[in-house]
Structure formats: C-alpha cells, structure tokens
Structure 1
Amino acid sequence: MAGSVTDKNGDPLPGVSIVVKGTTTGTITMGDGSYQIEVPSSSSTLVYSFIGFQSQEVMVGGQSNISVTLQDESIGLSDVVVVGYGTQRKESVTGSVASLKGEVVRDVPWANISRALQGRVAGVEMLQTSSKPGAEMQIRIRGTRSLNASNDPLIVLDGIPFAGSIGDINPGDIKSIDILKDASATAIYGSRGANGVILVSTNKGTKGQEAKFSYNGYYGLKDIFAKYPHDERFRIRCVACDRNLSKHVG
C-alpha cells in the first residue's frame, strides 16, 4: 500500500503518522509526502494524524494507492493571548501561559477573583489560609522560592503593575486573565516577575460609545445552625481571683 499526504493547498506534508487502526503497524510520510505501509487485509482502516491538522480515517477496501488531504485544525488557535509585552495568537505562543475568559470567572459569583481561579488553571496552586468571609486565597505559581521575601505573583492590571491585591479587582469588570508561569516573565518585569505574573485585562469603552449604566449583584442568607447552651450549672472560674467569670462580664 502506497500513497501521499498533502494539505489543503496541495503541499506535501512530511512526518504525518499513518497507523493501521487497532494495531501497532504504522509509518510516517517522507519529505515529499509519500508513504508505504503493509496492510493486513482489505478491510483495514488507515488513520492519518498530524499536529495542527484534523485526524482522518480511510478504509483501504481494494485500493492500492491512497492519497489524502488533511484539513487544518484551527480550534482555539486564533484566540488572542496577552503575553506581557503585547498580544499573540494562541498558536504562536511558546511560553507557559494559562488563559481564562471573563465569562468563566463570572460563572459562579465569588467575592474576589482568587476564589474563581481555584481549580480552573493548571499549574497554579491555590491555598485557603483564612476562614473569614471574602478572604483572598494564597496564590503560588512557581512554588515557594523565598523564606523571607514575598512569594506572591505580580499583578498587572491593563498593562500597569497593580499596587493593591487581586481581591481589589471587581470580577464583573474582567475581560480576560492570563497567567505567565515560566521564567520568561522575568525578562519583561525583572525580579518582580520571579513568582509568576497574573495579567488582568478589563472591559474598556470605545470611541463614540453611548454612556451605559449597569448593575450586577447577588445576595445570600445565613443563619446560625446552633447556639451555645446557657446553663447556670456550667460556670468558668477565674484563676486569678477565684471567682466566677460571670461576675466579671455581668
């Protein structure tokens, strides 16, 4: 069995993986896109796969020469990602960058962004260090690098380093969040980017846009599930004066 593999423009594709489905028999295309492979039977199916292209399956049947045209797989590759010194298409990004759309952040109402990031970004460690309502979570992108200095990532809001905390940013204003996780962030932000960088882009107005007012809110109800029992039999004595504490507090 022989044949060739090309793209939609007719250019040959070298290095395309061709495997007989359900077996370990396979080969790859040569520099001119041609290939040869041993097929067990006419009922076999060949699977063509290549990075950046959609996989394709072709049944051999009685054919002795099969030429295949692979289609581009552009899902998600045209998305724009903020990389610190500008924006790039997702297919052009070579560094370790995690992206999160504003719609995803607002799927569940949270008091701050750090809660919304938990479990949604790979390679980012989120730790709850306080039980206070609305408290921020501890964010670690590149682990704990220092015993004395801060290990918090650098927050950059619309291209400007943000002096406040990530909890000060309104989740309703966020357009996208991009997280730089590799060491290349230090080439842009210096030592401040050693712990990783969180780039936050917010929604902005456009020239000629009409003034618009919007409100977004939510509420919840809380109640005490159980009260402490008040019984005169249970008294705490003050060690210093050997009296009931109830006399001190009335």
Structure 2
Amino acid sequence: MKKTVALIFILCMVIQLTYAQKRTLTGTVRDKTTSEVLPGVTIIEKGTTNGTTTDISGNFKVSIEPESVIVVSFIGMTSKEIKPGKSTNLIIELETSFQEMSEVVVVGFGTQKKANLTGAVASVSPKVLEARPIADVGRGLQGITPGLSVVIPSGEVGSDPIMKIRGQLSSFQGGSAPLLLMDNVEIPSIQMVNPDDIESISVLKDAASSSIYGAKAAFGVVLITTKKGAKKEGVNVSYSGNMSFQNISKKMEMGQLDALEYTLSAFERIGGTVGGAFWQVTREGYDKAKIWQQKYGNTVKPNDPMLYGRDWFVDANGRKIGLRTYDPYNYMVKEWTPTKTHNLSVSGKSGKTDYNMSLGYLDQSGMIKPAKQDNFDRYNANIRVGTEVTPWLKVHAGTMYSKRLKKYAYATSSTTADPWLYLYRWSSIYPMTTEDGDQLRSPASEVAQANTSSQETNYTSLNGGFTMTPTKDWAINFDYTHANQEYINKNPGTRFTARDTWSAGVAKNDAAGNRIYMNDAGEVVASTAAGALPAYQLVNST
C-alpha cells in the first residue's frame, strides 16, 4: 500500500514538473508593409499539432515548450519560423509572398502546382492583361498563350473574337470553339467579361478536359476566375481609368494608276481594248489619267466634287471613262478612334465574411468614317459574397450583369451589299465624292445615309453554393446558377438617294434646256471654244 501511494506521489510530481516546463506565449501579427493586424494567422509549435490562430485584432495566445520554435503562416504571406527564447510577448511582422501565380494553376477539379500537372494547361496572369489597353479579354489573349489562336473576324467594334485551341476543326458546319467558363459557370461570350474583374485565366488544351466538363469541352476550356473578397480585415476601394486610341496597323493603299495599267494590259494581251465595268479604262483614258495625276494629283482633295471633262468623260461609244482615281481609305476609315474604360471596385472582409463589388464601363468608337454612329458600349456589374459558417463549411453567393450595346450604320440591305467588299472589288476610278452638290452612289454614300442599327445584349446570372471540407484533402463543392440572356435588335430600313454611278451618263443642259460644254479643266465654256466637250452628268435616283 505504501509503495502504491509513493508511486502515485512521484507520478504526480513528474506531471506537475512537466506542466511547469510549458509557458504561455502571447503576441500580435501584423503586415510588415501596411502595419495592419492580420486575423486568421496560424501559429504552430514546430513538430507538433499544438497551435492556435490570431483573433480579429491579430492577437494570439499559446502554451509552448521553453526551447521550442513556432511557425507563423498565412495565405499570401511568407511563412516565418521564430524561436521566442525567454520572450513572452512578440510582435511578428509577415511579408507579402511574391511567389508567381503561374506556379499554381486553376484546373477543372481545383488548383494544382504547375510542376505536378500532367495535362496541357497554360495560365495567364492578370498583370499581362493590365499592361494592354484592350476592349475585351479575347483581344488581350492574342499572342500570349501557346496553342491558343485568337482571330478578330473584322475591324468592327464589339465583334466577338474567334478562339481556337490548337487549331481544331470539327466539321465544316460544326463549331470548334473552346468552352468558356467563368467561376465554373458557362458564359456565351468572352465579350461580357470585364478584364478588370479577372483574378486568373487557365487554358485547358488537351482531351482530358472532356473527362471533367463533357462533350462541350472537346476543343478545350478557357477557365476564368474572378476576384473574390479581401483577405484582410477592412475595406478597399479602387478606381482605374484608361483612354487609348486605335488605328489600322497595316497601311491600306489602292493600286490607282498601277492598277489601271495592269487592267488595261491584261485585256490588251488577249486582244481587247477596253477593261472594266460601268467605269471603263482604254488606252486613251489611261494616257489622260497619267496626265491628270501629274496635273491634279497633289491639288484635288478627296472630297472635292467630280467635274466632267477634268475627272471623267464619255467617249464616242458612250462609255464612261474615268481619269481621276479615288482611295476608299480616305472616305471610309476614321483614324485614331478613342476607347475609354472606367472601373470601380469595393472589396473587404469583416470577420469571416468577405465581399467584392465592381462596376465597369467601356466606350469604344469604331473606325467607319461616314457612319452617323459607330460605337460599342459595355456595362458590367458584379457582386460576390462569401462567409465561413464553420471551419468545414463555406457558403458563397453572387450576381453578374452585363449589357452590350453596339450601334452601326445599317447599310447591308443596300444594292451594294457589303460595303467593304465593294471597296476593293471596284476599280480605283469609281467615284466616291459628289457631283453638282449631290452625293454619288458608293459604299461611303450609302453608309452615310443609312439609319443607325443597334444590337443590345443583356446577360444576368445569379449563383450560389457551398464548399464542404470533411477532411483535409477532400472538398465537396456545390454550385447553382440561373442565367438569362436577352437580345434586342433594331434594324430600321433606309432609302438611298444619290447619283447613279452604275448607269450611263446623260446630257447636261442648263435651265433653258441648252447643252452645256466643258473643257478638260472642268470649266463651263462656249461650244465654239477650243477643246470644248458636250457635257454629261449622272442621273439622281433613289
């Protein structure tokens, strides 16, 4: 009995001695750059599971062994190991981690270190997009992602870029565009995404993406992750604005005299003497066109009116022969058009709840010079809220709104069909200015007279979900999204009135009905004057 009591007494003394060796350590953890306190920082006694986290004020309290080392870690910060020694209260400062985001890649089933990936995945940092004055994400991805081809089908503002991964072609009628996902929700167009809202972009390029997302991902996936709430306690408000100008990168020039010579030589080679349709070129006309270029090439401006005798004439066979050459670039293309963007975001964290709200506006002017309106506007609004209900349950919800409004000249129902096609299908002697104050029928005149058409697209989505982590390496995600897209198109008809450049010229008479005569300078002269030509004009029609 005495031995048992003695043994219990010794055991209690050992336990008391062991307990007495532990000591209490307190402290505060701050951001070294901003001196702000950091809640939620993990403090672990190295080599053990003993530890704690900082409270909302960045303070902590933990019992440790006298000679132990503590490990302080926080997401986005560089971990630090500290040996407290005899100190009982510490002020710990953590530095922001500058580890490249490309080392961690977002994939269909979560995130992974790039070194551990087995599939073909490319990641894009938002810093790359920030350095480019772009109107949409698609244009920002041009030339920076291996295997991703981004083609802008036309120079129209608001046009969707054509994206292909590794140049796939499924069929002549089927599509080959990659699946577009924003926060794991499919979106119909990359145009609706505000570049300022993007946290990261991953491009899944191999067939493995189909095993996650199904048949829609047969040609790859573009995963867009948007910004979430702040990681630190407080509220952050940011604004960014940008103004840029766009211009055609490749200089466009019509053949003009060289093209006339080529056309004439081609016809003469096969025994012909006249080339062209509606406006024709002959050897006599070509020789006079060279004289016109030498005499008037530097003095006659693009918008100066067309004059009979100087700029064109009707030969003995009733054919319209053009002497003056026209460059469609001067009439159709507006240079250095502005693009303006404005972005406002508010993000923050309060306790275990984080939030992010953003507004974006894009105003882009088009390059079609004669149009009454040629512009593209985009409005974006995005709200995301998340909270940690328990250590193993996180709930999130959000909404997104995108409005795209494109206005352009509705000239596609005209007799010239596509104005850009006819600009370079026609010869350079086709007139594009005015005669006697009336517009001449041309792509420029029809675009100028066309009513303004509009294409409005409204996209709204509501989403919510939760993430459960029953164990450390097992996460269960649930997301629900309701999306709606509305199309509003307005195509008002237009009546085109101009002098008909496709028809034959008619005699030009004065108010009294007498024939007018003009010389080779386009001046009205008497019928008996040297070099006088009976004048012709084009018919005004609707």
- Quickly name the TM-score band, shorter chain normalised: 0.5 to 0.7
Does the residue aligned with 2:191 lie in a helix, a strand or coil?
helix
- Distance (Å, rounded) in 2 between the aligned partners of 1:100 and 1:78: 7
- Distance (Å, rounded) in 2 between the aligned partners of 1:214 and 1:183: 40
Count of residues paired in the alignment: 173
Query: 1:230 is matched by which residue type in structure 2?
Result: D
**Alignment of structure 1 residues 21-40 onto 2, 5 Å:** none
1:145 partnered with 2:170: yes
TM-score (norm 1): 0.60
Cα gap change, 1:222/1:190 in structure 2, threshold over 3 Å: closer, same or farther? closer
Q: 2:125 aligns with which of 94, 98, 101?
A: 101
**Alignment of structure 1 residues 61-140 onto 2, 5 Å:** 79-140=103-164
**Alignment of structure 1 residues 217-236 onto 2, 5 Å:** 217-220=241-244, 228-233=302-307, 235=435, 236=440
Query: 1:112 is matched by which residue type in structure 2?
Result: D
Q: How far did 1:144 drift?
A: 1.6
- Distance (Å, rounded) in 1 between the aligned partners of 2:112 and 2:150: 27
1:161 partnered with 2:165: no
Q: How far did 1:210 drift?
A: 3.7
- Distance (Å, rounded) in 1 between the aligned partners of 2:101 and 2:235: 34
Unaligned runs of 5+ in 1: 1-74
Q: How far did 1:155 drift?
A: 0.6
- Distance (Å, rounded) in 1 between the aligned partners of 2:186 and 2:177: 13
Contact 2:152 / 2:161 at 8 angstroms: preserved in 1? yes
Cα gap change, 1:154/1:77 in structure 2, threshold over 3 Å: closer, same or farther? closer
Cα gap change, 1:220/1:100 in structure 2, threshold over 3 Å: closer, same or farther? closer
Q: How far did 1:219 drift?
A: 1.5
- Distance (Å, rounded) in 2 between the aligned partners of 1:94 and 1:152: 23
Partner residue of 2:198?
A: 174
Q: 2:240 aligns with which of 182, 195, 216?
A: 216
Q: How far did 1:189 drift?
A: 0.7
Bigger Cα Rg: 2
Query: 1:229 is matched by which residue type in structure 2?
Result: N
- Distance (Å, rounded) in 1 between the aligned partners of 2:302 and 2:221: 46
What is the root-mean-square deviation of aligned Cα atoms in Å? 3.2
- Distance (Å, rounded) in 1 between the aligned partners of 2:138 and 2:244: 20
Q: Relative contact order, CA 8 A, sep 6+: which one is greater?
A: 1
- Distance (Å, rounded) in 1 between the aligned partners of 2:102 and 2:244: 39
Query: 1:121 is matched by which residue type in structure 2?
Result: T
**Alignment of structure 1 residues 229-248 onto 2, 5 Å:** 229-233=303-307, 235=435, 236=440, 238=500, 239=502, 247-248=540-541
- Distance (Å, rounded) in 2 between the aligned partners of 1:173 and 1:211: 17
1:141-176 CA-partner distances (Å, limit 9, x unpaired): 0412222222111111012122x3111111111111
Q: Percent identity?
A: 35
Q: How far did 1:137 drift?
A: 2.3
Cα gap change, 1:169/1:148 in structure 2, threshold over 3 Å: closer, same or farther? same
- Distance (Å, rounded) in 2 between the aligned partners of 1:211 and 1:245: 69
Partner residue of 1:195?
A: 219
TM-score (norm 2): 0.29
- Distance (Å, rounded) in 1 between the aligned partners of 2:160 and 2:236: 30
